[in-house]
Structure 1
């Protein structure tokens, strides 16, 4: 039997190639947009990809099902309630697909989305019991799915409760859990683990939410602390419902003059180099979102409108082209191009650049102690992080909600932008600069958690 997990590290997504080597047939479950690795593995193993199985209409990444159909002629299978606008074979709960000695059984698990389906895997050469279940976006390692991306939040939570207790938790304790997402995805909660797999028995014994037997208590617990909804998820769902996306995003080289004109015409210029490189020198008005760490696509999806042209600036052409593919994976397909030659070409033409002042957390504390009235602090973490503890006198605005200079911040005065590590503050500092703030300071090498560990003063929000 063939079983391979493939992860998309930037988005925290997991997909699977399953099949039977002797039968020469395989299927891909929840394919990512970049399909090259599936094709390479199929050639290496000597199998044909004849089926594509979708657990649901994804809300966080563009599926590669259209590209796989174009490349292999495979048939797409998805639950009847998904109602996509492309050729497919719909199935219902209990449907089975035989791939040689492997049986794939559909387990309808609504909640995250009404059509959501998990797939139990049965190796008939060994047992009639499922040895594994591909749980998609219902059960993760260490957490469960969020219930608010398709239906009323309470309705979604009740659906997930029954999908867990009436379906998944009735599988054998030994059944392996292979989820559709790992830690870092927007589709789950903070408990999601970076581990790639678990078992039904381990999750039942060690996930607190799975031990809640009362449905109302489960609903209250799972809906009371939800993070903000990603603004781009409806656009991604629409792309995944069809017509099929069969082409990857292509980015074209642009001269510095063309980049400058594109920005004047309303394009979002995104610098994908490291935060330090950005702070040292960047194109005026550019936004810093490094593609050198996981989460580039998710951060970009928070800030860019689907119809807004994107111009990407990298250390070199390779950086920018790779970032364009990540943009396409989150449904941002309007890439106007990239700065040919990277930032070096801009500097060689002696064009204007901006710089961002940097400050460590100890330096921030020293300045705060010396001049509390003269230094503004903007905390750009999520609301739950802010409520748990923040620097006295700071102003709060999550980085992805910065559309203007936040209320309480004087754009003419110095403002230190802080988060939990220095990564989100890099994005926020660049946004403030683009909005015209005069002296923006990027707090680096840590954030509020480091401040707290040093024992310096913090405040907690009073919540009802």
Structure 2
């Protein structure tokens, strides 16, 4: 019996292969099925089961494609209302994997249909638990993602109460040495306080996890509900796509047309330019949004572009273009891409900020702080700046005053590239500056 963790840094997503006696069960696979197929081939084993702990909000799973490619049986809770061929997998149900077992534990809280998967060894002893988004290292799943989407919807406070009972009555009663394998690590928006380690134990979590400390249910609900991160626009879309089952990864990408240059684009359609911010600022198409290729590209793309909104994708070279379209597909947005092209400069440049003048005369600028509200509250940087979180910027940008030059900043320089391009696209007659990494001169602790 062996366990292998696959980890996607960009989405901080962990998926798993458990293999024994020539058979493999996969838990919460990512959109691209190839790493799992390669793994099975490399070890000379057959993928016989794919388990979904819940319909994921932050990424698209390859469960349906893996079923078509391997014949593996798909398992998920009956509460999901899954539209793909599957075997219901709920409390006490078991899957044999040679002489070991995988057992379902219903653990509502992050979602009404969440399950955890308990691995029992050949002596029927609990060895590990795959906790999906119910329990993380140092955290628990947020309860506010299923108020309006899914087969079953539930208010966040009610889900928080279910999460209290799931942790106390089920997971915390497992033996202390049971290994905890969660579906996410730090950087994921499915929790708010995840630790750096990629696995833990039940005993360690009971000792150190803030959410598992002694408290009554009301205290737990209040604690879990406070200061949850923003919800990207694409989350509801991905829940429904995972409930249905996504189209094949590679085939879906290959249907996207490649244009000879961006000049062939329909000018009424949004352009997402994934080049570095300095390159973008030197020349880009009018109205383009700059979402630089980076560790959180998928999250920010899905936070500013709405589900169903059509767009073009631009990159600096073919390799980057391939990387970006695969990242787009991780959240199911490849179906919205009308075409791709390599950048050929552009007719618009971003203005360059006179740092000396800005440092001495901040009153002469409209300063827009696009950090999250908790960041702004805990660490104000500029007096009289306008707080406007990046996920809300497109909705409210038209209301920004344009009588003075606009300076956009975040905490480190990445988000400001996106935000400044959104402001410049919406207010073409305004002078817009991206403070970028120079924010560190004004915010040494950022």
* Correspondence 1:373 to 2:375: no
State the partner residue of 1:352: 347
TM-score, length-normalised on structure 2? 0.92
Write the mapping of 1:165-184 to structure 2, written as runs, cut at 5 A: 165-184=168-187
User: Is the contact between residue 263 and residue 269 of structure 1 (CA under 8 Å) also seen in structure 2?
Assistant: no
* Correspondence 1:98 to 2:96: yes
Q: Report SS of the residue matched to 1:402.
A: helix
* Correspondence 1:129 to 2:129: no
TM-score, length-normalised on structure 1? 0.89
* Pair 1:370–1:446, CA change in 2 (3 A): closer
User: Is the contact between residue 358 and residue 444 of structure 1 (CA under 8 Å) also seen in structure 2?
Assistant: no
Q: Report SS of the residue matched to 2:35.
A: helix
Provide the C-alpha distance between the structure 2 equivalents of 1:387 and 1:225, rounded to a whole number of angstroms: 11
- Alpha-carbon displacement from aligned partner over 1:302-328 (angstroms, at most 9, x marks no partner): 111222222111110221122112112
Q: Report SS of the residue matched to 1:264.
A: coil
State the partner residue of 1:399: 390
Instruction: Give, in angstroms, the shift of residue 368 of structure 1.
Output: 4.8
State the partner residue of 1:385: 375
* Correspondence 1:430 to 2:426: no
Write the mapping of 1:239-388 to structure 2, written as runs, cut at 5 A: 239-248=241-250, 249-250=252-253, 251-256=256-261, 259-266=262-269, 268-291=270-293, 293-332=294-333, 333-339=335-341, 342-343=342-343, 346-347=344-345, 351-357=346-352, 363=355, 367-368=357-358, 370-388=360-378
* Correspondence 1:34 to 2:32: yes
* Pair 1:358–1:324, CA change in 2 (3 A): farther
Instruction: Give, in angstroms, the shift of residue 369 of structure 1.
Output: 5.1
Provide the C-alpha distance between the structure 2 equivalents of 1:270 and 1:322, rounded to a whole number of angstroms: 14
User: Is the contact between residue 191 and residue 228 of structure 2 (CA under 8 Å) also seen in structure 1?
Assistant: no
Q: Report SS of the residue matched to 1:433.
A: helix
Q: Report SS of the residue matched to 1:357.
A: coil
Q: Report SS of the residue matched to 1:255.
A: coil
- Alpha-carbon displacement from aligned partner over 1:405-445 (angstroms, at most 9, x marks no partner): 64773235211111111111111001011112522111122
Q: Report SS of the residue matched to 2:422.
A: helix
* Correspondence 1:185 to 2:188: yes
Instruction: Give, in angstroms, the shift of residue 453 of structure 1.
Output: 3.8
Q: Report SS of the residue matched to 1:301.
A: helix
Provide the C-alpha distance between the structure 1 equivalents of 2:68 and 2:445, rounded to a whole number of angstroms: 56
Instruction: Give, in angstroms, the shift of residue 367 of structure 1.
Output: 3.9
Provide the C-alpha distance between the structure 1 equivalents of 2:221 and 2:357, rounded to a whole number of angstroms: 45
Instruction: Give, in angstroms, the shift of residue 389 of structure 1.
Output: 2.6
Provide the C-alpha distance between the structure 2 equivalents of 1:445 and 1:243, rounded to a whole number of angstroms: 40
Provide the C-alpha distance between the structure 1 equivalents of 2:352 and 2:392, rounded to a whole number of angstroms: 22
State the partner residue of 1:156: 159
Match of 1:111 among 85, 104, 109: 109
State the partner residue of 1:63: 61
Provide the C-alpha distance between the structure 2 equivalents of 1:447 and 1:208, rounded to a whole number of angstroms: 32
Instruction: Give, in angstroms, the shift of residue 195 of structure 1.
Output: 2.0
Provide the C-alpha distance between the structure 2 equivalents of 1:407 and 1:371, rounded to a whole number of angstroms: 25
Deviates more, 1:151-160 or 1:192-201: 192-201
Number of matched residues? 433
Q: Report SS of the residue matched to 2:75.
A: strand
User: Is the contact between residue 370 and residue 416 of structure 2 (CA under 8 Å) also seen in structure 1?
Assistant: yes
* Pair 1:353–1:409, CA change in 2 (3 A): closer
State the partner residue of 1:419: 410
Extract unaligned runs of 5+ from structure 2.
147-153
* Correspondence 1:144 to 2:140: yes
Q: Report SS of the residue matched to 1:253.
A: coil
State the partner residue of 1:53: 51
* Pair 1:314–1:194, CA change in 2 (3 A): farther
Provide the C-alpha distance between the structure 2 equivalents of 1:72 and 1:132, rounded to a whole number of angstroms: 26
User: Is the contact between residue 180 and residue 201 of structure 2 (CA under 8 Å) also seen in structure 1?
Assistant: yes
Deviates more, 1:405-414 or 1:428-437: 405-414
Match of 2:435 among 443, 450, 463: 443
State the partner residue of 1:4: 4
User: Is the contact between residue 100 and residue 124 of structure 2 (CA under 8 Å) also seen in structure 1?
Assistant: no
Instruction: Give, in angstroms, the shift of residue 194 of structure 1.
Output: 3.2
User: Is the contact between residue 86 and residue 244 of structure 1 (CA under 8 Å) also seen in structure 2?
Assistant: no
- Alpha-carbon displacement from aligned partner over 1:194-222 (angstroms, at most 9, x marks no partner): 32111111111111221042100010111
Provide the C-alpha distance between the structure 2 equivalents of 1:408 and 1:140, rounded to a whole number of angstroms: 40
